[in-house]
Chains A and B, each alone.
Chain A
Amino acid sequence: MSERLVVIGGGGAGIAAATIAKRVAPDMKVTLFTEFEDIAYSPCGIPFVHGREIEKFENLFLSTVERYVEDGLDMRMETTVTDLDLDKRTVSFKGQTEGFDKLVIATGFVWEKPSVPGANLDGLHYVKNIRQAMEFDKLLDDMKKAVVIGATPLGVEMAGNLGHRGLEVHFVDEGPWALHEVLDPDVAQPVHESLEKRGVTLHFGTTLNEFLGDGNGRVRAVSTSAGEIECDVVIVCLHKLPNNDLAAAAGVKVGSTGGIMVNERMETSVPGVWAAGDVIEVPHGLTLIPIRGLTGSHAYAQGRTAGANAAGEHRAYDPVWVPWGLVGGDYTIGGFSLGETLATAVGVPYVVAKGVGVSRARYFPGATRTNVKLLAEPGTLKLIGAQIHGGEGVKERCDFLAFTAKRGATLHDIAWMENIYSPPIGALFEPMAIAAQNGLAELKKAGQL
């Protein structure tokens, strides 16, 4: 009898694990369980359909259930696994029980809910499921005022997109600036300006007190430390929490972030059980402190590692340097690893190198300013983080810097790197090199070089 692999979860990590396992071991029986009706779509694109930058939700689908069935996967759609017995090696669902030899847990995340009165009122919307988003999008046509709670990446995208759609948007967070958990205030400033241009009113440093109902069970306003904000809808964009109840109840070890602990092969504490995606924690490349709640590309890569190893290969996943980026309003921001705020909080010593360049030849139409801030380890000057803001090319620079930092590149390496000069796509002076050169000059001036 062929070996049986069960994958729980149909997001990026789950589908990657299932498809790679089947590819590596074609004789393996691979069964994927998902509680949802759909699979293989990009939830990250949902805010941009609401903002009408993407025409329709159907464009977000990347594949179909039928396609995976053709590839040999046993797809159990709308089937929630309700119990997991790791001694008997069984999963339970819809009153049935089925056995497995190997298991990949990719149950993803659930949204943190606000812990204030009124959090169960109708009219509080969470962005996750595409079918709910389709229905919600129709309702948005008749709405005028929205409150977005949580200055997280999703919060910034939802606030900017609803503003783009023409709604009056109020953006509320206790923190001091947008994306304060990853972004430095100097980089957040242009994001604030861009959001305000889209009609978003910022309420940072503002405590959420209560959601106020209309007497019929629906939210009509949000009570905050800065006063009451009337609204038609509230979009809740707080933290992603690992959806680990099933795994933890079955005895899989959970770490200091609440995510499932895995080693570099994505193996959990239980032999024959792997995990991947938003439900796990992985170490940060510099500090080796476990972190979680990363991007879809991290989830997919972890799923591939878990699936390949479950199918008998020996693949390792590296600690993460977390390149990230997003569009806040009309402005692109990004970075990797640590910014000044996070480095200060953790207590990691650093020196800063800053510079401004252009994304293509300055005379070429469409050129944008590219602001680069590099963080390096004092002494060795090895890169440990960066934040970049501007227009085009932010994403590629962040990917590049994360990779070079992982390999130990220093400010010296970046200062004298080669770069492409071609007027439509690249300027003579690379902005990252300008920043590194400036940083080295400052260190020399300060007698630290």
Chain B
Amino acid sequence: MSEPGGIKRRFRATTERYLTIAAFEAMRGRYPDAGSRPPAYRQNAFWSRVFVPVYARIPWSVKQKVMKASGMTARGWTPPPREPGTPWRPPAPK
């Protein structure tokens, strides 16, 4: 049986690949004069025709929640607050 971490890695690699290929095509449409070439990747119809369009329709806020709930985001990290005017703080004493 595949280990859970391995399944997650393969899922991430596959979804990233197809989402990136779709983004290449979107960018080629947006910048038609940029001299790019059609990418030459082999593709699987399920991921390109089902997964990518469905993913694109889900709002970013929902995607974020799903990623967090499914353990696709990092744990054990405290991002600094992104509020303008928040002063820099020295590291906490030992």
A: which residues have CB within 8 A of B?
174-177, 180-181, 184-186, 188-189, 192, 204-207, 225, 253-258, 261-264, 267, 281-283, 285, 287-290, 312-316, 318-319, 340-342, 344-349, 382, 405-410, 413
Contacts and interface: CB of A to CB of B under 8 A. Distances in A.
A262 B76 CA distance: 8
From B16, B41, B74, name the one whose CB has the most chain A CB atoms within 10 angstroms: B74
A177 B35 contact: yes
B80 A177 contact: no
Interface in B1-31: 5, 8-9, 12, 16, 19-20, 22-24, 26-28, 30-31
**Size category, B interface:** 35 or more
Nearest to A282: B74
B55 interface: yes
Contacts of B19: 345-347
A347 B41 CA distance: 21
A319 B77 contact: yes
B73 A283 contact: yes
A307 to B, nearest CB: 15
A285 B38 contact: no
B76 A254 contact: no
B92 A184 contact: no
Given A225-B40, A288-B73, A346-B19, A407 B91 contact: no
21 contacts: A176-B37, A177-B35, A177-B36, A185-B28, A185-B34, A189-B34, A205-B38, A206-B40, A207-B40, A287-B67, A287-B73, A288-B74, A289-B67, A314-B94, A341-B24, A342-B20, A345-B23, A347-B60, A348-B60, A349-B60, A408-B82
A186 B34 contact: yes
Contacts of A176: 24, 28, 36-39
**For B36, B56, B75, B86, which residue has the most chain A Cβ atoms within 10 angstroms?**
B36
Contacts of B56: 347
B78 A316 contact: yes
B40 A189 contact: no
B40 A256 contact: no
Contact of B74 (A184, A225, A254, A290): A290
Given A345-B19, A349-B60, A406-B80, A189 B35 contact: yes
Task: Pick the most buried of B16, B39, B41, B68: most chain A CB atoms within 10 A of its CB.
Answer: B39
A408 B27 contact: no
Contact of B86 (A313, A345, A348, A407): A407
A258 B86 CA distance: 35
Nearest to A187: B34
B61 to A, nearest CB: 9
Contacts of A406: 80, 82
A283 B74 contact: yes
A351 B22 CA distance: 19
Nearest to A344: B23
B94 A313 contact: yes
A340 B74 contact: no
B8 A256 contact: yes
Given A314-B94, A346-B19, A177 B34 contact: yes
A408 B94 contact: no
A254 B7 CA distance: 12
Nearest to A281: B74
B80 A287 contact: no
B81 to A, nearest CB: 7
A244 B14 CA distance: 21
- Listed from nearest, the 5 A-B pairs whose CB atoms lie closest are A263-B76, A205-B37, A408-B82, A283-B74, A345-B23
Given A176-B38, A347-B19, A413-B84, 18 more contacts: A175-B24, A177-B34, A181-B20, A185-B31, A205-B37, A205-B40, A256-B12, A257-B9, A258-B9, A262-B76, A290-B74, A312-B94, A319-B74, A344-B23, A345-B20, A408-B86, A409-B84, A410-B84
